[in-house]
């Protein structure tokens, strides 16, 4: 029966060798002859082709190592005693009362070659990754030193300079250095996190002092923009905690500087609440709320990914690398917590996070374990509702807010402080978003002359805009 199949076997792409219980080859198909470079395989011993083949106690043939799903990886020897790798299987058959063995084998050289290439590529990739992390760490360290040097010198020059024009230029240089400094620090943190090399430094500190420091970092910019600022630390929040003060501060600073950056009217609120306690560990909840431009639902998903800014115009308008929030997320997760965002376009955003943190204990002190005692008000956009009234054109709140912004704007135009003028203009644009077409086009004209830093045109556009606002109000 087997004999009848020889012709079919000669068409096979696999090598097929049939041998008897003594190991004598009775048939080798055309493929086997070709690959093994024999004119005839019959009457050879199977061990000449596969020296690693074994005979079991029962007289069966097998490989030294057991077969895997795809067969056993073996070396097949050619007539000239060179060898190549194959995947081979042995099956036992009974043919007309005779016990025979069929060995089928496929050339494995190409698969091995690709597997080897893949392994090499993987190794190269890993070492390139390490080199990249090392390179980023070295370059950012090297950049930090000259930037700090320039910053220090610019600040000294600012103290010595009386000429307002030169003061203005020095202020721009100082801002540039600060921005560079922040970007360098972000890249350094990002590469450390990427390489798993960032560690938390936990020490005892006074939480309220940290919150005061955070406030002092941002309050000037917030009030300069004419925004309100409120901070509330609820009384159950412990005085002293043990944690990484620097990293908690970094997350809060990032949230607050974004809130300030993306808010032109209204207010910024910060809230710290204790939400649970387990022995000497407490869960703290931090929220930063703003009444700024907000973020659409689909963009909220992108927020915590690296290098992600809501759209490319954000970079042109507000700067930044889009790394800040991704770093915050990873830092908060290292502290056993999570970050959350709630936001609505043109209404505002609530960024919050919770962390588990230790509290120092006096010897013998018994601590509560209470997972539900503290009711937290989960951040919702309702908290920002009252401010959104000022966004509705024509309301009393809107009128008041517009007046405030306009008086600040004219002051900036008079002083030719164009950077600040643009900031107030952004607020005015938002406050008149729902205004009649004529007012909106006058506000656009004013905005353009402010952007062009054209004093005469800005003054003219301001007067026209203020007049038409008054007229609009008297018509109402």
SS3 label, residue 212: helix
**Does residue 427 interact with ligand ADP by CB under 6 A?**
no
**Cβ closest to ligand ADP, residue 39 vs residue 382:** 382
Least distance (Å) between residue 350 CB and ligand ADP: 9
Among 49, 188, 325, 383, binds ligand ADP (CB under 6 A): 325
According to CB under 6 A, which one of 28, 320, 337, 379 is a site residue for ligand ADP? 320
Task: Measure the CA–CA gap between 299 and 278, rounded to whole angstroms.
Answer: 36
Cβ of residue 218: shortest distance to ligand ADP, in angstroms?
13
Helix (H) or strand (E) holding 226: none
Q: Which of 151-159, 323-331, 332-340, 377-385 is the region at the interface with ligand ADP (rule: CB under 6 A)? A: 323-331
CA distance 259 to 348: 9
Judged by CB, which is closer to ligand ADP: 90, or 293? 293
Residue 222 engages ligand ADP in binding (rule: CB under 6 A) = no
Rounded Cα–Cα distance for residues 230 and 290 (Å):
10
| Residue 387 near ligand ADP by CB under 6 A | no
Q: Is 258 in the site for ligand ADP (CB under 6 A)?
A: yes
Half-sphere exposure of 45 (CA within 13 A, CB side): 9
- CB-based contact 318:312 (threshold 8 Å): no
Residue ranges in 21-60 that form contacts with ligand ADP under rule CB under 6 A: none
Residues in the chain: 476
Considering only residues 295, 331, 359, 423, which one is a binding residue for ligand ADP as defined by CB under 6 A?
295
Contacting range for ligand ADP; rule: CB under 6 A; set: 91-99, 190-198, 291-299, 397-405: 291-299
Cα 146 from Cα 180, distance rounded (Å): 11
Residue 197 three-state SS: coil
Contacts of ligand ADP in 66-125 (CB under 6 A): none
Which of 176/322 has CB closer to ligand ADP?
322
Tell me whether residue 189 or residue 401 sits nearer to ligand ADP (CB atom).
189
Transcribe 368-413 into DSSP letters.
-EESSSS------GGGGHHHHGGGSTTSHHHHHHHHHHHHHHHHHH
Q: Which CB atom, from 212 or from 301, has the smaller least distance to ligand ADP?
A: 301
Q: Which is nearer to ligand ADP, 76 or 251 (CB)?
A: 251
Query: Nearest Cα to 476, choosing from 405, 401, 398, 391?
Result: 398
Rg from Cα positions in the chain: 37
Q: Which stretch binds ligand ADP (CB under 6 A): 56-64, 73-81, 131-139, 285-293?
A: 285-293
Distance CA 63, CA 317 (A): 70
Out of 23, 238, 322, 472, the only residue in the binding site for ligand ADP (CB under 6 A) is 322
CB of 293 to ligand ADP, least distance (A): 5
Binding residues for ligand ADP restricted to 328-367, rule: CB under 6 A? 349
Per CB under 6 A, does 292 bind ligand ADP?
yes
Q: What is the full DSSP assignment across 39-99?
A: S--TTSBHHHH-TTEEE-TTS-EEESS--BTTBEEEEEE-TTS-EEEEEEEEEEEEETTEE
Q: Is 100 helix (H, G, I), strand (E, B) or coil?
A: strand
- Give the one residue of 25, 207, 310, 357 binding ligand ADP; rule: CB under 6 A: 310
Applying CB under 6 A, which residues contact ligand ADP? 254, 258-259, 262, 290, 292-295, 303, 309-310, 314, 320-325, 349
């Amino acid at each position: 029966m087997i004999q009848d199949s020889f012709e079919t076997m000669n068409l096979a792409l696999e090598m097929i060798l049939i041998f008897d219980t003594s190991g004598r080859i009775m048939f080798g198909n055309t493929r086997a002859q070709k690959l093994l470079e024999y004119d005839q395989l019959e009457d050879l011993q199977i061990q000449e082709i596969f020296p690693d083949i074994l005979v079991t106690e029962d007289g069966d043939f097998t490989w030294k190592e057991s077969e895997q799903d795809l067969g056993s990886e073996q070396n097949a020897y050619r007539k000239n005693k060179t060898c190549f790798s194959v995947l081979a299987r042995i099956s036992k058959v009974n043919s007309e009362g005779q016990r025979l063995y069929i060995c089928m084998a496929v050339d494995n050289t190409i698969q091995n070659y690709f597997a080897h290439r893949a392994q090499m590529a993987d190794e190269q990739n890993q070492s390139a990754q390490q080199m990249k992390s090392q390179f980023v760490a070295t370059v950012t360290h090297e950049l930090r030193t000259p930037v700090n040097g320039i910053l220090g010198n610019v600040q000294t020059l600012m103290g010595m300079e009386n000429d307002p024009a030169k003061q203005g230029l020095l202020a721009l240089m100082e801002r540039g250095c600060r921005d560079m400094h922040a970007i360098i620090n972000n890249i350094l943190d990002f590469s450390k996190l990427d390489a798993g090399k960032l560690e938390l430094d936990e020490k005892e500190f006074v939480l309220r002092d940290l919150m005061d420091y955070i406030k002092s970092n941002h309050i000037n910019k917030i009030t300069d923009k004419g925004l309100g600022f409120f901070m509330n630390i609820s009384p159950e929040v412990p005085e002293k905690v043990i944690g990484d003060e620097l990293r908690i501060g970094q997350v809060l600073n990032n949230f607050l500087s974004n809130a300030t950056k993306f808010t032109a009217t209204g207010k910024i609120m910060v809230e710290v609440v204790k939400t649970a306690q387990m022995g000497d560990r407490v869960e703290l909840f931090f929220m930063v709320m703003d009444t700024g431009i907000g973020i659409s639902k689909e963009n909220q998903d992108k927020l915590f990914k690296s290098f992600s800014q809501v759209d490319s115009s954000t970079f042109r308008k507000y700067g930044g690398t889009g790394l800040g929030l991704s770093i915050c997320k990873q830092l908060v997760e290292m502290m056993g917590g999570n970050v959350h965002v709630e936001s609505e376009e043109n209404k505002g955003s609530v960024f919050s996070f919770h962390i588990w943190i230790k509290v120092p204990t006096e010897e013998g002190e018994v601590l509560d374990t209470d997972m539900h005692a503290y009711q937290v008000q989960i951040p919702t956009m309702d908290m920002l509702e009252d401010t959104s009234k000022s966004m509705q054109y024509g309301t009393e709140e809107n009128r008041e807010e517009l007046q405030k912004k306009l008086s600040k704007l004219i002051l900036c135009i008079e002083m030719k402080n164009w950077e600040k003028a643009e900031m107030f203009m952004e607020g005015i644009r938002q406050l008149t978003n729902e205004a009649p077409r004529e007012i909106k086009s006058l506000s656009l004209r004013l905005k353009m002359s402010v952007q062009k830093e054209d004093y005469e045109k800005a003054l003219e556009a301001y007067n026209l805009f203020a007049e038409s606002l008054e007229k609009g109000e008297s018509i109402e």
